[in-house]
Structure 1
Amino acid sequence: MIEQLALTNFKAFRSAEIPLAPVTLLTGLNSSGKSSVLQALVLLRQSYDASTLFSADGQSEEQGGFLLNGELLELGTGQDVLHEDFVRMPNLPAPLIRVGFRTSDGRDHGWAALYASEQDVLPLYTASPVPHVESVFNRSFQYLKADRIVPATSYPRSHQQAIARGFLGARGEHTVNYLRHHAQDTMMSAALRHPEARGSTFLDHVVAWMQELCPGVNLEAAEIPGIDSVRLSYGFDGTAGLESSGRRRPTNVGFGLTYALPIVVACLTAGPNSLILLENPEAHLHPRGQSRMAALMAAAAAAGAQLVVETHSDHVLNGLRLAVKKRAIPAADTAVHYFRRQGLRAEIVTPRIHDDGTLSDWPPGFFDEWENSLEQLLD
């Protein structure tokens, strides 16, 4: 598990060491540095998948580097990722952009690339050997962007992505095919089993967790014969499958359920040494659903996963606090970072969640808009 992320000259950060827990919430105003934390980890994965996460050894013409634009992430060119007030390195022709992390066993890993303003592959200056077993590089990695799949009549059926790799796609585009393939698998993790699931299959538990977001909903994923696509359908006030009420296309149901489905499936794939990176899991959900999404994230951590979550929702925060109070997750397994701008630099304030769910402090600007609005209404 990653205990600390270290960044130098990367986007919002001149220099930062950011502690990570089994569940880490990244909060704060827009453009304050939250996304940079997730993007740093995704950049490592993207470069690893493209086989560029190595430095030149002097024996070959191959040159590794940070791959800024690829399947998971599009960051632009070097000038888009270099911090404006960058740390200068003596005796080097250009600044170094560094991403590294420390794992729970105390080992440090790091990669530093030379800045090149117009390039989208920044050549590595120093590089650790890639620790293939670590969560950011292994098969149990999921990253879901804020702009996830929307309701549609069909979704792609890629055996390589959804089944061979077990990857849901950065937009969750392979979620429906993953669900179709694994629907009848037995749900093994006790921590992730929903107490009201109607059976023991993966689909049963997906449905049960989705019903936390929309009571009475059920779903079905099926291939469309003759083409490389799969179909998702919803039913209401019935059980999963043929006993359900009349099936409805996602386009006739609304954004919330389809937008949330990749998050639910990603969390239910959780296991030891897996890493799940989530952007705005609360999008298009009712406040109750946002709070229950936090309960699911706590369950995923209890199953052995590490989650790093960017959120603007006080309901997600409060859902995590409730999970701590209910002993679903230890307070020590949570971290909450509040990001705010100080000139060109990002500042991080870290309130701690206590065992009873209370917070150690409430810095100005930290989910205080409700109180601010109420104060004005009562004035």
Structure 2
Amino acid sequence: MIETLKIKNFKSIKEMKINCANITLLIGTNSSGKSSILQGLLFVAQNTGKKCGLNGELMSLGSFEENRCVYADEKEIIIEIGAGEYMADLVLSREIEIEPNLHIKDNSQGKWWEALCSGLDYEKRAFQYLSCHRVGPQNVYQKNMTMEDVIGTDGQYAVAFLNKHSSDVLETKLCKGNVDYTLLGQVNLWLSYIADAEISTEEIRGADMVKASYTMHDARQIRPTNIGSGISYLISVIIICLASPKEAVIALENPEIHLHPSAQAKLCEFFYFISLTGRQLFIETHSDHIFNGFRAGIATNEMEKDKIKIQFISLNEEHISQAMQVQIGQMGRIENQRKDLFDQFDLDLNKMIGLRGKKNGTNP
């Protein structure tokens, strides 16, 4: 498991260390650096095979100068990833008139880096990434004709993957209920629980395409374009988590897209369940319902506090990103509340009851 992620001289991050857990939740205001933290992780993952720097399968960020922190004097971008006493530094440097060079520094004589190369292998789905640009409702979905079992950073091949692997029997830890232990069965178990729907897929003969349909209540064979958009955005999240191998690292951007608050709360239960199977999740969100879903789980002792790290990312007065680990106390109370830490509900409530002068939110 990745225990620490340290980033230096990257975008708005001058220097930042993130402590990680089974679930690492990244929250904060727009353009505060949350995506940059995920991109630091993506940078490591896409350089564990061939060295491609900032531009590869998982992300394409442009030139070195575009990504170097303008508030720092250093001429290197450094991403450090560690577990226990082991750590590896990926150092991207550029001297005058020379293309960026990537150097790997490993304090374990290569053993930790070798483990990372295996543990973050994108083509073998050991590292999974789903962007906020993932595909929504479509009448037909593509097959992946180049990397057969890769689901895609936009989830564009998730439905085709489900169609191909629907009858695969999952490991026991990934299965709930006592009826259907196949990938399709477990996808539908969670899809039904979260959004009250089920999916079926069918290959289109003579084409490299697959179509999906949904069952909801008594209605069957509903096209994706004729059902709530949230379900289509949700399905790739469920598939990518259940299809990941043991010890996989899963990075998700805004998993709450188009989902009702109650569905978002149930999605937190799904993520926690996945994290208990040995998979590690990094989740970026703007949803107070996702945030409160984990708070509620901790408050009711349904989730272990130590397995969840919540990092609040913000900009200081110098416009440099900073991280604060949110402390959750008894009854889900936020022990170190800060401005913009999901305090808008309280601010709005204060306005409604006439306390317009109160600027800072308080804990519920």
TM-score (norm 1): 0.85
The alpha-carbon deviation at position 326 of structure 1 amounts to 4.5
Q: Which residue of 1 aligns with 2:121?
A: 137
Do residues 213 (structure 1) and 199 (structure 2) align? no
Say if 1:161 and 1:326 are closer, same or farther in 2 by CA, change over 3 A. farther
Following superposition, the deviation at residue 276 of structure 1 comes to 0.3
Which of residues 218, 223, 228 is equivalent to 2:208? 228
Summarize the alignment of residues 1-379 of structure 1 with structure 2, pairs less than 5 Å apart: 1-49=1-49, 51-52=50-51, 66=53, 68-88=54-74, 95-103=75-83, 105-115=84-94, 122-128=100-106, 129=110, 131-134=113-116, 135-137=119-121, 139=124, 140-158=126-144, 160-163=146-149, 167-190=150-173, 192-195=174-177, 198-215=179-196, 217-237=197-217, 245-342=219-316, 343-354=318-329, 357-379=332-354
Deviation at 1:323, TM superposition (A): 2.8
- Where 1:109 maps in the other structure, the secondary structure is strand
Question: Which consecutive residues of structure 1, in runs of 5 or more, have no partner in the other structure?
Answer: 53-64, 89-94, 239-244
- List structure 1 segments (4+ residues) > 6 angstroms apart after TM superposition: 116-119
Task: Give the letter for the 2:243 counterpart.
Answer: T
Partner-residue secondary structure (3-state), 1:101: strand
**Cα offset, 1:45, TM superposition:** 1.9
**Deviation string, structure 1 residues 247-300 (Cα, Å, up to 9, x no partner):** 021111132111111111122234532100000001110001111111111011
Counterpart CA distance in 1 for 2:55 and 2:69 is 18
1:74 partner amino acid: S
Once structures 1 and 2 are overlaid, which stretch shifts more, 296-305 or 203-212? 203-212
Residues 16, 322 of structure 2: 8 Å contact kept? no
Query: Equivalent pairs: percent with the same residue?
Result: 28
Deviation at 1:118, TM superposition (A): 9.4
The number of residues matched between the two structures is 345
Unaligned runs of 5+ in 2: 355-364
In structure 1, C-alpha distance between the alignment counterparts of 2:220 and 2:104, rounded to whole Å: 59
Matched to 1:231, the amino acid is K
Letter aligned with residue 6 of structure 2: A
Alignment root-mean-square deviation, CA: 2.2
**How far apart are the structure 2 equivalents of 1:361 and 1:99?**
28
Is the 8 Å Cα contact of residues 88 and 104 (structure 2) preserved in structure 1?
no
Kept after mapping to 2: 8 A contact 1:113/1:126: no
Residue type at the aligned position of 1:232: A
